[in-house]
């Protein structure tokens, strides 16, 4: 379970997420069920995030999904508390400045 001090993460682009599931960093293709099993969460959680029915996930879940797919966290996710309402260019500027 996520600590209250850790940010939650919102999916940046569902289409990109689906595309990366088709060919992960290892070259494998993952279904929602496969990814859920590997990450240790219900596959319905992933489906709900992709459909927009679930707004965010814990930092641990976001990191586990990104790691399993084989990409950096911020390729798929944006912290809700810090940058979710920022325009994409502003997010990039903030990351570059860090």
Please write the tens of the pLDDT for every residue from 41-63: 999 999 999 999 999 999 999 99
Confidence class for position 92, pLDDT limits 50, 70, 90: low
Residue 93 has pLDDT above 80, yes or no: no
Mean pLDDT rounded to a whole number for the chain: 86
Tell me: domain 9-97, CATH 2.60.40.10, correct?
A: no
Alpha carbon distance 34, 43 (integer Å): 8
Q: If pLDDT is split at 50, 70 and 90, which confidence band does 3 have?
A: very low
Q: Are 59 and 8 in contact (CB under 8 A)?
A: yes
CA–CA dist 26, 11 (Å, integer):
22
pLDDT of 7? 87
pTM, whole model, 2 decimals? 0.76
Single out the residue of 8, 91, 6, 4 nearest to residue 55, CA to CA: 8
State pLDDT tens for residues 4-51.
568 899 999 999 999 999 999 889 999 999 999 999 999 999 999 999
pLDDT of residue 68: 96
CB under 8 Å to 95, separation ≥6 — which residues?
74
Contact at 8 Å (CB) between 58 and 1? Answer: yes
């Amino acid at each position: 379970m996520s600590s209250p001090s850790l940010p939650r993460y919102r999916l940046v682009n569902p289409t990109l997420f689906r595309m990366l599931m088709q060919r992960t960093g290892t070259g494998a293709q993952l279904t929602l069920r496969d990814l859920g099993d590997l990450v240790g969460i219900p596959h319905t959680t992933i489906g709900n995030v992709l459909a927009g029915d679930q707004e965010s996930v814990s930092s641990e879940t976001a990191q586990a999904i990104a790691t399993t797919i084989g990409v950096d966290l911020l390729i798929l996710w944006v912290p809700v508390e810090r940058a979710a309402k920022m325009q994409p260019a502003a997010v990039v500027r903030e990351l570059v400045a860090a």
